């Protein structure tokens, strides 16, 4: 029975194996620890993520390596995205630490274990080269997040958000699976590179492929949170505990970008003209509805939710303009601009939610825009940090957000979609209003509470570093831009 079994090369998946083993070890250790602050569990979780980054760095060959019967791929794109993923999760857990300690119902070892399993799911998604691998990673991430959203059992809003997320997430998974099954029917393979070969050789049923593609793009659109599959985002962002909202709004965007690249670019590049039309529609609708709906929000978490919808719409522009009329000359420029945009967005959104977490305390959630009134009088330094983050999200020069938008726009114009660039700029200008409203509240409104801002030293240091990174990388954007371009050049 085992005569034909070939032992897979485990090196490309070493970080995943290490994280899975450590998650189980930490789970067992946490059962024996009596410390109510869960300091050991937190420390081990952070060390695990640092260990994953070290293993990722030292096992990277720079070549495209397939393993587990071609179901798993290790290339420079996955290496770079995973390194940013580990860094994001380390920051997210540091920001969440004080918030979780203040809320005893959430201050359990399970919080950190679920965060590790969510990270494992994202790692699997980033390296997937098979529909089954994608689905396994996606469900591992989704199930961990459903549980984390519902962790604050005393909150009706959190429980409701978890139910909505679970039901709509199941619907999206169904769409994705149905699309995958139709593509399997059309090509006879579930392997992404196998699908690409079948399409290139003309051995696939084109009609069935287009139907499968529609369902596949619909499922991906839900995971990205773009219109018209965005209905879960505002409610989940608002209802989830803020530390969980920070997690949902940041790291999964890196994994979602990787899935879009694997499925549409690696697997179905010959059908680019079919999926481009869908992505253009999703992109324009997301920028329109995301920016217009955000204007009406008084809750900062809901505002950032609609902002996320518009940002993901903007990111899709880069993927849309990679291939023009069958010409792939612009591919590297367009895809690397989209990758740079996702990384910049994750950096900005961690800073924004980090500020909300720092302003919150036991029994008080600083989630309304009015809660930031007069922040400049209470703490000029952190008001300045929040100003930089808001300016960057709005695309004001010379922060990283401006160069992220600029790089996508120049890719769109280079591909000949001038009208699309004009639409994107128009909706970005509308979006500037609600970001500047937060700045106006901080600097020109009188504070309701004159008490100085209190936060732990590590929180102050990390948020300061996050805000300064937004400014510094805005002055030297070519560092990350070059990394993205090089990684994609060696991976596509």
The helix-helix angle for 76-102 and 109-126 (nearest 10°) equals 160
Cβ atoms 94, 465 nearer than 8 A: no
What does the pLDDT read at residue 257? 93
Question: What is the spatial distance between Cα 277 and Cα 223, in angstroms, rounded to a whole number?
Answer: 19
Q: Output 28-35 pairs: Cβ under 8 A, ≥24 positions apart.
A: 30/109, 30/112, 30/113, 31/109, 33/109
Contacts of 143 (CB under 8 A, 6+ apart): none
What does the pLDDT read at residue 1? 47
Output the six-digit token pair for 150.
């519902």
What does the pLDDT read at residue 450? 74
Output the six-digit token pair for 296.
């009406």
Question: What is the spatial distance between Cα 55 and Cα 354, in angstroms, rounded to a whole number?
Answer: 28
Q: Output 207-210 pairs: Cβ under 8 A, ≥24 positions apart.
A: 208/182, 208/183, 209/182, 209/183, 209/268, 209/271, 210/271, 210/274
Instruction: Look up the pTM and report it.
Output: 0.94
Q: Collect the ranges in the chain with pLDDT lower than 70.
A: 1-5, 325-329, 363
């Amino acid at each position: 029975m085992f005569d034909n079994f070939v032992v897979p090369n485990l090196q490309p998946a070493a970080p995943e194996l290490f994280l899975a083993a450590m998650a189980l070890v930490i789970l067992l250790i946490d059962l024996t620890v009596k410390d109510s602050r869960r300091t050991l569990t937190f420390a081990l979780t952070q060390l695990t993520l640092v260990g994953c980054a070290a293993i990722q760095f030292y096992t990277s060959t720079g070549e495209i390596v397939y393993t587990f019967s071609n179901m798993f791929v290790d290339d420079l794109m996955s290496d770079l995205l995973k390194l940013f993923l580990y860094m994001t999760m380390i920051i997210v857990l540091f920001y969440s630490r004080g918030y979780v300690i203040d809320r005893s119902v959430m201050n359990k070892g399970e919080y950190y274990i679920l965060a590790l399993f969510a990270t494992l799911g994202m790692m699997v998604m980033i390296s997937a080269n098979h529909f089954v691998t994608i689905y396994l990673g996606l469900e591992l991430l989704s199930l961990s997040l459903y549980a984390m959203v519902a962790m604050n059992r005393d909150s009706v809003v959190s429980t409701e958000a978890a139910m909505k997320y679970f039901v709509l997430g199941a619907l999206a998974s169904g769409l994705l699976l149905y699309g995958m099954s139709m593509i399997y029917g059309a090509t006879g393979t579930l392997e992404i590179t196998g699908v690409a070969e079948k399409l290139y050789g003309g051995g696939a049923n084109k009609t069935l492929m287009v139907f499968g593609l529609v369902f596949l793009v619909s499922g991906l659109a839900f995971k990205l949170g773009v219109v018209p599959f965005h209905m879960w985002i505002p409610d989940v962002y608002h209802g989830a505990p803020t530390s969980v909202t920070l997690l949902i709004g940041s790291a999964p965007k890196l994994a979602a970008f990787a899935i879009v690249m694997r499925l549409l670019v690696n697997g179905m590049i010959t059908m680019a003209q079919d999926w481009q039309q869908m992505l253009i529609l999703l992109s324009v609708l997301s920028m329109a509805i995301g920016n217009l709906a955000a204007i009406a929000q008084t809750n900062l978490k809901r505002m950032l939710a609609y902002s996320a919808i518009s940002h993901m719409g903007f990111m899709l522009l880069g993927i849309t303009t990679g291939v023009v009329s069958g010409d792939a000359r612009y591919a590297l420029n367009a895809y690397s601009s989209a990758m740079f945009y996702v990384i910049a967005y994750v950096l900005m959104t961690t800073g924004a939610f980090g500020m909300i977490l720092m302003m919150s305390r036991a029994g008080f959630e600083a989630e309304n825009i009015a809660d930031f009134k007069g922040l400049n009088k209470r703490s000029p330094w952190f008001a300045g940090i929040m100003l930089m983050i808001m300016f960057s999200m709005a695309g004001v020069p010379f922060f990283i957000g401006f160069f992220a938008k600029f790089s996508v726009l120049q890719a769109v114009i280079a591909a000949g979609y001038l009208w699309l660039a004009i639409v994107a700029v128009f909706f970005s200008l509308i979006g500037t209003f609600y970001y500047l409203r937060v700045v106006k509240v901080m600097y020109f409104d009188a504070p309701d509470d004159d008490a100085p801002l209190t936060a732990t030293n590590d929180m102050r240091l990390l948020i300061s570093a996050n805000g300064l990174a937004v400014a510094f990388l805005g002055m030297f954007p070519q560092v990350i831009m070059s990394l993205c371009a090089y990684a994609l050049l060696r991976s596509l």
